[in-house]
Structure 1
């Protein structure tokens, strides 16, 4: 049975109340805050030792207001970069705000990741609501967004819903950084990753994805489980583009219920990820030093559509557009276990 309760954390810079909402059962304890509907903590309960928080988090409200690394946040309206901020909807071009060089990143300035959400407790879940008005950061359509966090035994399910009054583009994700060791600022090199994907997207010098490549025989291939250390010890020009790390979209194979599995041999914690999204951007926290943490001390699995409105008919890859008659629905499930 899931217990859901909340507590006042403090005030933000606008003197608004910031709350921590807790979902807890015998397996997991999850904390969500109303800034960005961020995941602040996931504790995997263990009878043998102290419970371990396995996600990267801030200690201060102010850090979540700024949150340049999008730690724990719901990201939208778009996850990733849109080159030159140009969005084509049917025959109309919309100029999005450019908040990452010449590109639109994660929805633009003061995005959904940094705003206060309305949150309601309901039985086994938290309901998180926010509105994004027409031409918010340049995106067309008045958008009603609902994100649900649901705790069921050893699984955390995130469900995304949205409706628009006109045709618009949407591609949402959650931007939690995991560190399954449970040790703050420890590196992820010895985590073992298995990722069912035959293709990934190359990125340019501005980290904009633009072309599919086969993963076989590259250092980016995790189709057979291996330590992440093996990637960092390998040589590849694409690695240098992402500050010697991973920041690339993988196209998920459809033949596996949980295409992403990662575990830490020391903590004995394993995480399996299931999703109905077509891709996942794997990001190894390559710029954490900019916020006072160690680079590569967390790993993010941004389940989403292929970024930058990428299309490929053969692999059935296409951007998602929503309107009043076509609501947006997506889910991602995280299953935790001690092995």
Structure 2
């Protein structure tokens, strides 16, 4: 097992790209800028190692990472309707960077910050701890928040992300990672034939701006039912109004039936033999099937295009600041936010 770092010159700045490698050869590379995961090298059924996440070929493009490739997301993952929320008796106004709404913590969210990094090695894992402090009023949010995010790669080919945060005032917060997975390897194919199994019997209805309407719908007898496995292709062809709103794909919050001691999601690609299992203590996940990607970006192995990756954004729901009945994103002053998501790979 080992950890390496490589300086990356970006305009007048120098970032560091860290690579965590385990004893079987799996590796995860990330930047201290945005905590951005740039590559995950994972074996297929023939033990061929290929990259299974979307990343830019030219690292300068991460400065304007509108698709949030690989990035840490916060303070609030997802869209806050009308770019404002009330807490106590006060209303807070946020930057509107997605129409009239605030998306993924605003333009200066965690995806666009440089983090301090401390590397860690144990007999069974290699990892890094990322630290950042966001001051009171940053992107319109109340409270000074101290973040600690751990990336850990084990010899069992498990990649764990542990999140911690603490605020000196009541605030709102839910964190995630925005990696786009493509198990075909090196972007050889789209994710349309990837099969998803998800332990979720409910999903959240969206309006035309992809904002939750407040309705939580059953997945039964719809293409949102992944409980027994379903190809992503089904949702792109369904004609369901909810898929059509998301440009013939998925960009929806699924509420897990259980949040502990269970594999919430599996993602399989038959051609490569790779399987990704996601286990988390978060209450739900936004599954986004890269419906907005066009061919304008040069990625590591190919040009970008629609359906080239699937994001599995484990998180709570920002709709909870507007509607009752949703997993809350409220964080009380001095309460420690702790969440963990593990991505386990097999082939």
Q: TM-score normalised to the size of structure 2?
A: 0.92
Q: Which moved more, 1:74-83 or 1:186-195?
A: 186-195
What CA deviation, in whole Å up to 9, does each residue of 1:283-309 have, x standing for no partner? 000111064311001000000002322
Which of 218, 229, 237 aligns to 1:214? It is 218
State the SS of the aligned residue for 2:138: coil
Q: Partner of 1:296 in structure 2?
A: 307
Task: Determine if the alignment matches structure 1 residue 194 to structure 2 residue 197.
Answer: yes
Moved over 4 A (4+): 310-313
Q: Give the aligned partner of residue 48 of structure 1.
A: 46
Mapping for residues 133-148 of structure 1, pairs under 5 Å: 133-148=135-150
Whether 2:71 is the aligned partner of 1:60: answer no
Partners of 1:248 and 1:106 in 2: CA distance: 15
Alignment pair present for 1:169 and 2:169: no
- In the TM superposition, 1:1-339 aligns within 5 A as 2-8=1-7, 10-13=8-11, 15-27=12-24, 28-45=26-43, 48-123=46-121, 124-153=126-155, 154-184=157-187, 186-210=189-213, 211-254=215-258, 257-289=262-294, 291-292=296-297, 293-309=304-320, 312-313=324-325, 317-338=326-347
Distance 1:106 1:185 in 2: 29
CA distance in 2, matches of 1:162, 1:325: 9
1:130–1:235 Cα change, 3 Å: same
| C-alpha contact (below 8 Å) 1:26/1:45 kept by paired residues | no
Structure 2 distance, partners of 1:290, 1:140, is: 38
What's the RMSD between the two structures over aligned residues? 1.6
- Tell me the CA shift for residue 234 of structure 1: 1.6
Q: Structure 1 unaligned runs (5+)?
A: none
State how many pairs are aligned.
332
For residues 222-254 of structure 1, the C-alpha deviation after alignment (integer angstroms, 9 at most, x for no partner) is: 111122222222220111111111000000110
8 Å contact from structure 1 (residues 36, 117) kept in 2: yes
Give the TM-score of the pair, scaled to structure 1: 0.94
